[in-house]
Amino acid sequence: MVCFPNCKLNIGLYITSKRADGYHNLETIFYPVKGLKDVLEVVPAETIAIALHGKTVAGDKYDNLVWKAYQLLKQDFPNLPALSIHLLKNIPMGAGMGGGSADGAFMIKLLNDYSALGLTNEAMISYALQLGSDCPFFIENTPQYATGRGEVMQPVGIDLSAYSIQLICPQVHVSTAAAFKMIKPKPALFDLQKLPELPIEHWKDVVSNDFEAPVFAQHPELAAIKEQLYAQGAIYAAMSGSGSTVYGIFAKGHKATINTHLTYEEHMV
């Protein structure tokens, strides 16, 4: 069985408070980007095994959220069959697009279908949250207004299919933990639940990402990429998550030509 975990973008991201459990409360809109995907396949096997493929593979394969998702469900479903798991990584890692979270969440959905576990979306979201704060979104995988750690979600009516989205993914590592330490939580500057009522041409005036100021201060080349996107016609441009991906939303068929000394990947979706 094969599935294709996709990435996401954050449209607006506000860190509103520090929680007693050490996490942060946030407000954001998660938007699925289905033009950039990993490939996840499972086949029957005598013993459980995992193999990672692709240029963005890094780290211990047993730390991968796909492996952790299998082990998590195995605790409650001991008859889960042994599988040979193959993951082809296309989504850049550590880029603020949730590639690893998507892989873990899609593994939960795949195992639910493959082994007919009968899990509801609510149950799968509960498992996904144990893997990471971004993971529950990929169970729904539709535009969502998210609060809490990101797991409290409401569908939001945003459709960007009439536009082109340019993803610039520099090979700049931004530590999410370090980025959070640079943030002073404060109330959201804009109510993102109202975003569907706001013409996209006005997003740049009111919608922001709290991580941009501290991350851009450390990596001004990322700020320069955002400036180039706007200078060349982006209707809206922002950093996704804690970075380092910077994206621009353009009229259909348009894009920017980015001039930077950074090594980066570019995707049009």
Residue numbers annotated as active site: 8, 134
> What phi and psi, each to the nearest 5 degrees, are found at residue 134?
-85, -15
Q: Are strands 83-88 and 49-53 parallel, antiparallel or unpaired?
A: parallel
CA distances from 2 to 40, 88, 114 (A): 6, 11, 10
Is there a contact between 143 and 30 (Cβ–Cβ < 8 Å)? yes
Q: Report the Cα 31 to chain-centroid distance in Å.
A: 8
Q: How many other C-beta atoms can be found within 10 angstroms of the C-beta atom of residue 82?
A: 12
Classify 43 as helix, strand or coil.
strand
Task: Give me the helix-helix angle, 65-76 and 99-114, nearest 10°.
Answer: 40
Q: Report the Cα 8 to chain-centroid distance in Å.
A: 4
SS3 per-residue string spanning 111-151: HHHHCCCCCCHHHHHHHHHHHCCCHHHHHHCCCEEEECCCC
Contacts of 232 (CB under 8 A, 6+ apart): 255, 256, 257
Please state, in angstroms and rounded to a whole number, the distance separating the CA atoms of residues 150 and 26. Answer: 7
Please count the residues of the chain: 269
